[in-house]
Amino acid sequence: MTSPQTPSATSPVPARRAAAMTLTASYERCRKLHARYGRSYYLATLLLPAWKRPHVHALYGFARYADEIVDSFHMIDDRAAALDALSSRLIASLTGDPVDDPVLPAFTHTVRSFAIDLEDIDAFLASMRADLTVSRYATYDDLLGYMKGSAAAIGTMMLPVLEPRRGAADRAREPARQLGLAFQLTNFLRDVREDLARGRIYLPLADLDKFGVSEADLRRPRATRAVRELLAFEAGRARDHYAEALQGIELLAPSSRPCVQAAYELYSGILDEIEAAGYDVLARRARVPRRRRLAIFARHLLAASAADRAERRVTIVVP
The Cα–Cα gap between 121 and 45 comes to 21
Residue 238 or 14, more confident: 238
Tell me the residue length of the chain: 319
Query: Phi/psi zone of residue 213: left (φ > 0), alpha (ψ -120 to 50 degrees), beta?
Result: beta
For residue 172, which of 225, 244, 264, 263 has the smallest C-alpha distance?
244
Average pLDDT score over the chain: 91
DSSP per position, 170-191: HHHHHHHHHHHHHHHHHHHHHT
Given this model, what pLDDT does residue 73 score?
66
The Cα–Cα gap between 23 and 224 comes to 50
Q: What is the pLDDT of residues 21-66, one digit of tens each?
A: 689 999 999 999 999 999 999 999 999 999 999 999 999 999 999 9
Q: What is the pLDDT of residues 215-271, one digit of tens each?
A: 999 999 999 999 999 999 999 999 999 999 999 999 999 999 999 999 999 999 999
State mean pLDDT over 104-128.
96
pLDDT band at 275 (very low <50, low <70, confident <90, very high): very high
Q: What is the pLDDT of residues 147-170, one digit of tens each?
A: 999 999 999 999 999 999 999 999
The Cα–Cα gap between 150 and 173 comes to 16
What is the architecture of the domain spanning 24-310?
Orthogonal Bundle (1.10)
> What one-letter code names the amino acid at 301?
L
DSSP code at position 73: -
pLDDT band at 12 (very low <50, low <70, confident <90, very high): very low
Q: What is the pLDDT of residues 91-112, one digit of tens each?
A: 999 999 989 899 999 999 999 9
Given this model, what pLDDT does residue 227 score?
98
Give the pTM: 0.89
Given this model, what pLDDT does residue 191 score?
97
| Residue 213: C-alpha distances to residues 71, 176, 209, 224 (Å) | 26, 32, 6, 9
* 288 has pLDDT over 50: yes
Given this model, what pLDDT does residue 9 score?
31
Given this model, what pLDDT does residue 1 score?
56
Given this model, what pLDDT does residue 15 score?
41
Q: Which residues are CB-contacts of 304 (< 8 A; sequence separation ≥ 6)?
A: 47, 48, 255, 258, 259
Q: What is the pLDDT of residues 165-215, one digit of tens each?
A: 999 999 999 999 999 999 999 999 999 999 999 999 999 999 999 999 999
187-191's contacts with Cβ under 8 Å and 24+ in sequence apart are: 187/270, 188/234, 189/231, 189/234, 189/235, 189/238, 189/271, 189/274, 189/281, 190/270, 190/274, 190/281, 190/285, 190/286, 191/281, 191/285
Q: What is the pLDDT of residues 66-81, one digit of tens each?
A: 988 877 766 768 889 9
Q: Which residues are CB-contacts of 309 (< 8 A; sequence separation ≥ 6)?
A: none
Q: Are residues 165 and 253 in contact, defined by beta-carbon separation less than 8 angstroms?
A: yes
Over 226-237, what HEC string results? Answer: HHHHHHHHHHHH
Residue 19 or 84, more confident: 84
| Backbone phi, psi, residue 247, to 5° | -65, -20
Q: Which residues are CB-contacts of 60 (< 8 A; sequence separation ≥ 6)?
A: 30, 33, 34, 38, 41, 42
* 318 has pLDDT over 90: no
Query: 8-17, 93-102, 129-138: lowest mean pLDDT where?
Result: 8-17
